[in-house]
Chain A
């Protein structure tokens, strides 16, 4: 379980997060939703110790993220941020391979090679495996990065808007892979832009607004027309189509 207690965060004079106290349950897919600037990405990077905690406490299965050595945490929790500009020219295989670095520290063994092959296969990267990352399209690069995070093989996987740049089919495939991961007992926390992906694939939803947690709970309870309309300050209707619930917000 990820326990977040009394976390507040400022960037200069701006308050990004205030009074966040939240439990993210172990197992399953938890979606973070909310309008732009709600503080979802900041919360995710605090959990993943990418930014120092200014106030409050965060533990992952009892490990304090501020005090656990960073290399040990990397075998337990992985993160993919949304603004990963790849300056380095690596082959897809090498990039995915670096996901195993926390485990092998430069000397990959058979288990690492198997995990890399598995990640490449899971994200349909075999035809691209020997291409350099700077020759890929945005969506292909995004898939390679998610595969790298997958290869890291951690109990907790945090993803910040992983659907960026992905077309319909790859977005859906990615969400299904995340469900597979959750089915093996791992915990997936994902920031989602589009609430319909949360409706279709998330077990739990954390709704954030103005740096606070607005609602949290099982997906079916949080994703209601009234809650979403208030959350986004824009009319949203929930509808059942073919036994699945949809947020109608385009019209």
Chain B
């Protein structure tokens, strides 16, 4: 039996997914399910796209949540704190230095660059006074901005700015069968994160408290950064960066349900998936038959939600 409080969110997610299958340039009516041509379209394009959106939304939200616990700061997310930019730098380096690199090498090196970028970020913010939490997002923005500027400079120098645009502006219109399967890896990483949920929550209590509870804090941070970096790198390479998902979604869930990740991580993943899917459907409808970049729509929706969040009173538990 599904608990009652999960029925509405699950129904909403299913409705969005069904809506996504029937939204696009070609109009599919209710009769589509008997039309082999329409079924082929769903099989090759709509279904992969819907899955890609769900996987991306879920993994970006969870990656943001993990980074926030590890950094012990609510206002950071991988897409703006250097992880995403470092991943783009990595894939740019592979494109330049090893043009025929196989996919696994592109992925691996891009993940490695993302990991280095995240480790440097955590090392940077460790120097900041804990009494000034707002310095952390400022440092994150500056650090991510510098790395991003490096990506742009190299891209401009070697005439690769078109690729850079693909990696930095996430959108799903290019998703088709055979071009998104790498994203299943982010789904696996999200499940892995759930196994570590208690350890991430304890890491969020701080290094001393974690050690006192018998956790090897360094190892938990390493595991978390690996998940965040690989998930971010996979998304950057296949879809491109979608900013704010990792920031807005975990903050909303934390406001409503707290930070016990064992309880909130599935909801964070589902909310991230649903919100990005809603934005992607809007992206397909807004200038039909053309598309608006989903990152742009999410930026507007995310900003509105965030403002609402800042002004709404936090809800007490239960």
Seen from chain A, the residues whose Cβ lies within 8 Å of a Cβ on chain B are 45, 48-50, 70-75, 78-81, 84-91, 94, 98-99, 101-102, 106, 130-132, 134-135, 152
B181 at the interface (CB under 8 A from A): no
13 contacts between A and B (CB under 8 A): A50-B211, A70-B214, A74-B213, A79-B212, A87-B73, A91-B260, A98-B202, A98-B205, A101-B215, A102-B213, A130-B316, A131-B316, A135-B314
Chain A minimum-CB-distance residue to B216: A70
B214 to A89, Cβ gap below 8 A? Answer: no
* Cα(A45)–Cα(B209), bound, Å: 11
B318 to A130, Cβ gap below 8 A? Answer: yes
User: Which of chain A's residues have a CB closer than 8 A to the CB of B198?
Assistant: 98, 101, 106
Other A-B contacts than A88-B72, A130-B316, 9 sampled, CB-CB below 8 A, are A48-B212, A70-B215, A74-B213, A80-B212, A87-B74, A91-B260, A91-B317, A98-B205, A102-B214
B208 to A84, Cβ gap below 8 A? Answer: yes
B206 to A87, Cβ gap below 8 A? Answer: yes
Chain A minimum-CB-distance residue to B71: A87
Chain A minimum-CB-distance residue to B200: A88
Chain B minimum-CB-distance residue to A94: B260
Could you tell me the distance in whole angstroms from the C-beta of B258 to the nearest C-beta in chain A?
5
* Cα(A184)–Cα(B74), bound, Å: 42
* Cα(A45)–Cα(B216), bound, Å: 16
Seen from chain B, the residues whose Cβ lies within 8 Å of a Cβ on chain A are 69, 72-74, 130, 133, 198, 201-202, 204-209, 211-216, 254, 258-260, 262, 314, 316-318
* Cα(A53)–Cα(B209), bound, Å: 18
Known interface pairs A85-B206, A87-B206; A132-B258 also in contact (CB < 8 Å): yes
A152 to B206, Cβ gap below 8 A? Answer: no
* Cα(A94)–Cα(B260), bound, Å: 7
Complex partner residue of A78 from B72, B212, B258, B259, CB under 8 angstroms:
B212
Of B73, B198, B205, B216, chain A has the most CB atoms within 10 Å of the CB of B205
B208 to A71, Cβ gap below 8 A? Answer: no
B213 to A91, Cβ gap below 8 A? Answer: no
Complex partner residue of B258 from A49, A73, A89, CB under 8 angstroms:
A89
User: Which of chain A's residues have a CB closer than 8 A to the CB of B258?
Assistant: 89-91, 94, 132
* Cα(A71)–Cα(B127), bound, Å: 28
User: Which of chain B's residues have a CB closer than 8 A to the CB of A78?
Assistant: 212
User: Which of chain A's residues have a CB closer than 8 A to the CB of B214?
Assistant: 70-75, 101-102
Chain A minimum-CB-distance residue to B198: A106
Chain B minimum-CB-distance residue to A133: B258
Could you tell me the distance in whole angstroms from the C-beta of B102 to the nearest C-beta in chain A?
38
User: Which of chain A's residues have a CB closer than 8 A to the CB of B318?
Assistant: 91, 130
B72 to A87, Cβ gap below 8 A? Answer: yes
Chain B minimum-CB-distance residue to A152: B213
Chain B minimum-CB-distance residue to A73: B214
Known interface pairs A74-B213, A89-B254, A152-B213; A50-B208 also in contact (CB < 8 Å): yes
A85 to B130, Cβ gap below 8 A? Answer: yes
Chain A minimum-CB-distance residue to B214: A74
Could you tell me the distance in whole angstroms from the C-beta of A114 to the nearest C-beta in chain B?
19
Could you tell me the distance in whole angstroms from the C-beta of A250 to the nearest C-beta in chain B?
30
Could you tell me the distance in whole angstroms from the C-beta of B195 to the nearest C-beta in chain A?
9
B316 to A132, Cβ gap below 8 A? Answer: yes
* Cα(A29)–Cα(B262), bound, Å: 36
Chain B minimum-CB-distance residue to A80: B212
Could you tell me the distance in whole angstroms from the C-beta of A111 to the nearest C-beta in chain B?
17
User: Which of chain A's residues have a CB closer than 8 A to the CB of B209?
Assistant: 81, 84
Chain B minimum-CB-distance residue to A92: B317
Could you tell me the distance in whole angstroms from the C-beta of B264 to the nearest C-beta in chain A?
10
Could you tell me the distance in whole angstroms from the C-beta of B317 to the nearest C-beta in chain A?
5
User: Which of chain A's residues have a CB closer than 8 A to the CB of B316?
Assistant: 130-132, 135
Chain B minimum-CB-distance residue to A102: B214
Could you tell me the distance in whole angstroms from the C-beta of A109 to the nearest C-beta in chain B?
15
Complex partner residue of A130 from B74, B211, B259, B317, CB under 8 angstroms:
B317
Of B74, B204, B212, B316, chain A has the most CB atoms within 10 Å of the CB of B212
Complex partner residue of A98 from B133, B213, B314, CB under 8 angstroms:
B213
User: Which of chain B's residues have a CB closer than 8 A to the CB of A89?
Assistant: 254, 258-259
User: Which of chain B's residues have a CB closer than 8 A to the CB of A106?
Assistant: 198, 262
* Cα(A102)–Cα(B202), bound, Å: 11
* Cα(A134)–Cα(B318), bound, Å: 15
* Cα(A152)–Cα(B207), bound, Å: 17
Could you tell me the distance in whole angstroms from the C-beta of A104 to the nearest C-beta in chain B?
10
